[in-house]
Amino acid sequence: MNYDVIVVGGGHAGVEAALSSARMGSKTLMISMLAENVGATSCNPAVGGLAKGHLVRELDALGGEMGLITDEAGIQFRILNHTKGPAVRGSRAQIDMDKYRIIARNTILSTPNLDLVQEMVDSLIVEDNIVKGVKTNLLNVYGATCVIITTGTFLKGVIHIGEIKQEGGRFGEQSSIGLSNSLAACGLEMGRLKTGTCARIDSSSIDFSLMEEQAGDVLPNPFSFRTDKEKFAKTKKQLPCFIAYTNENTHDIIEGNFYRAPLFTGQIEGTGPRYCPSIEDKINRFRDKDRHHLFIEPQTMENTECYINGMSTSLPPDVQQQMIHSVKGLENAKIVRYGYAIEYDFVDPRELKHSLETKKIKHLFLAGQINGTTGYEEAAAQGLMAGINASLLIQAKEPLVLRRDEAYIGVLIDDLVTKGTKEPYRMFTSRAEYRLLLREESADTRLSHYGHALGLISDEVHKKVQQKDIQIKEGAKLLEDTKFTPNKEFIAFLDAMEELPIKDISTAQQLIARKTFDVKKMLKLIPELGKYDSYIQEEILVEGKYARYIDKQSEEIERMKKYLKVEIPADFDFKIVSGLSKEIIEKLEKFNPPTLQAASQISGITPAAIEIMHIYIRMAVKNKKV
């Protein structure tokens, strides 16, 4: 009954936490309310998306499991924002949610060093502000060196469907009340958030002929760097999704029932996700719009049940029937499961260190929606990092803390633990200052050395990544070193490619920086690059096309690293720094950090604040010398 690490909860955060911990050599126990629901996708049957795809690829590069399971369970793969710049593209996959759950559960059950039990944790065992284990509803006591809480929406979960309220962490499952009370008793600051889901429809009752078909990419791209790309593209079977639209009748039905909507009656108190609002919230906020997109997504390869993405709701069942039947193609839709909202407790993430260990209770880690995030991908990324850092703590090693310039995971965790959140946090590319360096396709070359050092990435995979990195750098150098003169022959060559002439000696890198240059033109310009695989060629193109901007961001990162080493004078007056908010000044005065590095670790201190302080510190030191 004694373990190195106990993981409480079997959602996406719990799966990644348990697997990383066990694979790093820690004797691990996962405690889940329902063993068959380990890895369940409670809401939409999809993984990835804008910025979320970055998280999945990063956790895959570190040795996580989500990308591999998605590749196996995926039923449609698309690159979003494909026509835009590489930094803001995002991979997304529809998944067979039944298959995903089964693969995740079987992976847990077949992993050495990892046990799974079906119980509910009622309380933490804490002695001298150090967690020692947990106690369950069956009165079993499990001891552990570290405990990772990944409870999702289960902490004092309350489900809302119209006027109906009932306790539950997910429809049909109990909420966790005792554990929430136990966390509060530890002195952790708690809050209340809300999320929701939509109705599910019997696919046979949908008239897809009245909707717009949305197919997957012709050559699907896998999520995991460990998946064989060529074989995947040739053999992966895909299903289409469909696009439908709300209309004025739909909006009238919803608006006419606002008085029955828990969101507006005061029945729901928690703050919901701003960027994934319920349909009633959308109609309330954007009443001027004639229609809203609805994405009809298959939930399994058999396509017996569909998810209505864009119609999350907590309206009463009779209203849900009316509004769904008002949509073209859904006039005869049979509802299998009604949509609902759920409120739940979360812990203010400012209670955490960057390692995801709580500041007040040693060896206690939190990951996933308990930290105020929303989404499978954000949860999985935190779970992986919590599992890694719990095992590193047991090994008496320094925690792995990814910087903002290293990974979206670094941005995610830094945002949470320094700024906190008052609404469910969702990852966006705009949150990453150095997003051009943090592209999806570079995740393996950026991060797999960490996964390899931790024992989560094999020698074979790591060697392939190293080879990829070498080839990209070789190609980029070739572009930089190859020069062309504006003679008649070369101008004619450019004209044949429908490219404008050059007036001065130009490098291949300068030429491919043009918007009109693609891989085909690059290979005509530098045929030697044809020896590389197509995905290597794509990366060489991107590296060359954005070389100037990449260099600029790299210089900014190096400058920021130098800033962090700067000492803050003992008598420095933070009030003289123009541009700092009153709140930031109060925090700086309270903690009186000795260096800008120490200041950067204080909740709410942004990179911009560090840069401003550096200027004023330099001025103060210079004036003293004068």
Digit-coded pLDDT (tens) for 397-432: 999 999 999 999 999 999 999 889 999 999 999 888
Find the mean pLDDT for residues 533-540. Answer: 93
Find the mean pLDDT for residues 359-367. Answer: 98
Q: Looking at residue 615, which CATH number applies to its domain?
A: 1.10.150.570
Cα 107–Cα 111–Cα 113 angle in degrees, nearest 5: 150
Which of residues 335, 362, 379 is at a domain's end? 335
Same domain? 315 vs 413 = no
Same domain? 13 vs 144 = yes
Residue type, 230: E
Same domain? 36 vs 184 = yes
Average pLDDT of the chain is 94
Find the mean pLDDT for residues 552-565. Answer: 83
Of the listed ranges 259-273, 500-514, 592-606, the least confidently predicted one is: 592-606
* DSSP label of 271: B
Q: What percent of the chain is helix, strand and coil (3-state, nearest 5)?
A: 45, 20, 35
More confident position, 622 or 80? 80
3-class SS string, 198-220 = CCEEEHHHCCHHHCEEECCCCCC
Cα 323–Cα 324–Cα 325 angle in degrees, nearest 5: 90
Per-residue confidence (pLDDT) for residue 225, from 0 to 100:
96
Total of domains in the chain: 4
Q: What CA–CA distances, in Å, run from 578 to 22, 313, 452, 596?
A: 49, 45, 45, 17
Same domain? 155 vs 26 = yes
Digit-coded pLDDT (tens) for 488-523: 999 999 999 999 999 999 999 999 999 999 999 999
DSSP assignment string, 19-78? HHHHHTT--EEEEES-GGGTT---S-SEEE-TTHHHHHHHHHHTT-SHHHHHHHHEEEEE
Same domain? 349 vs 212 = no
Per-residue confidence (pLDDT) for residue 625, from 0 to 100:
63
Q: Is 143 helix (H, G, I), strand (E, B) or coil?
A: strand
> Is 465 contained in some domain?
no
Task: For residue 506, give the nearest of 526, 482, 529, 473 by alpha carbon.
Answer: 482
Find the mean pLDDT for residues 206-235. Answer: 95
Same domain? 330 vs 227 = yes
Same domain? 23 vs 92 = yes
> Is 61 contained in some domain?
yes
> Is 464 contained in some domain?
no
Residue 626 has pLDDT above 80, yes or no: no
> Is 522 contained in some domain?
yes
> Is 556 contained in some domain?
no
Same domain? 179 vs 57 = yes
The answer to whether 161 and 154 have CB atoms below 8 angstroms apart is: no
Residue 605 has pLDDT above 90, yes or no: no
Band (pLDDT 50/70/90 cuts) for residue 363 is: very high
In the sheet that 74-80 helps form, which strands lie side by side, from edge to edge?
46-48, 90-95, 74-80
Per-residue confidence (pLDDT) for residue 571, from 0 to 100:
87
- Domain hosting 499: range is 470-551
> Is 461 contained in some domain?
no
Same domain? 300 vs 388 = no
> Is 496 contained in some domain?
yes
More confident position, 376 or 606? 376
Band (pLDDT 50/70/90 cuts) for residue 237 is: very high
> Is 398 contained in some domain?
yes
Per-residue confidence (pLDDT) for residue 305, from 0 to 100:
97
Percent of the chain with pLDDT over 90: 82
Per-residue confidence (pLDDT) for residue 127, from 0 to 100:
97
Per-residue confidence (pLDDT) for residue 273, from 0 to 100:
82
Same domain? 441 vs 507 = no
Same domain? 124 vs 43 = yes
Q: How far apart are CA 404 and CA 401, in angstroms?
A: 10
Digit-coded pLDDT (tens) for 155-176: 999 999 999 999 999 988 999 9
Same domain? 184 vs 50 = yes
Q: Looking at residue 319, which CATH number applies to its domain?
A: 2.40.30.260
Residue 24 has pLDDT above 90, yes or no: yes
Cα 57–Cα 59–Cα 61 angle in degrees, nearest 5: 70
Residue 49 has pLDDT above 90, yes or no: yes
Each as own residue / partner, the long-range contacts of residues 534-537 (CB below 8 Å, 24 or more positions apart, any chain) are 535/229, 535/441, 536/468, 536/471, 536/472, 536/475, 537/475
Digit-coded pLDDT (tens) for 186-203: 999 999 999 999 999 999
Residue 64 has pLDDT above 80, yes or no: yes
Digit-coded pLDDT (tens) for 466-491: 999 999 999 999 999 999 999 999 99
Find the mean pLDDT for residues 50-68. Answer: 97
Which of residues 335, 351, 373 is at a domain's end? 335
Per-residue confidence (pLDDT) for residue 366, from 0 to 100:
98
Q: Looking at residue 48, which CATH number applies to its domain?
A: 3.50.50.60
Q: What pTM was estimated for this model as a whole?
A: 0.91
Q: Say how many C-beta atoms besides its own lie within 10 A of residue 237's C-beta.
A: 10
Q: What CA–CA distances, in Å, run from 334 to 44, 131, 208, 246, 473?
A: 18, 49, 14, 17, 55
Q: Looking at residue 520, which CATH number applies to its domain?
A: 1.10.10.1800
Which of residues 303, 335, 367 is at a domain's end? 335
Band (pLDDT 50/70/90 cuts) for residue 563 is: confident
Find the mean pLDDT for residues 427-450. Answer: 93
Residue 620 has pLDDT above 90, yes or no: no
Per-residue confidence (pLDDT) for residue 28, from 0 to 100:
98
Determine the distance from the C-alpha atom of residue 268 to the mean position of all C-alpha atoms in its chain, rounded to a whole number: 26
Q: How far apart are CA 186 and CA 132, in angstroms?
A: 13
Per-residue confidence (pLDDT) for residue 252, from 0 to 100:
96
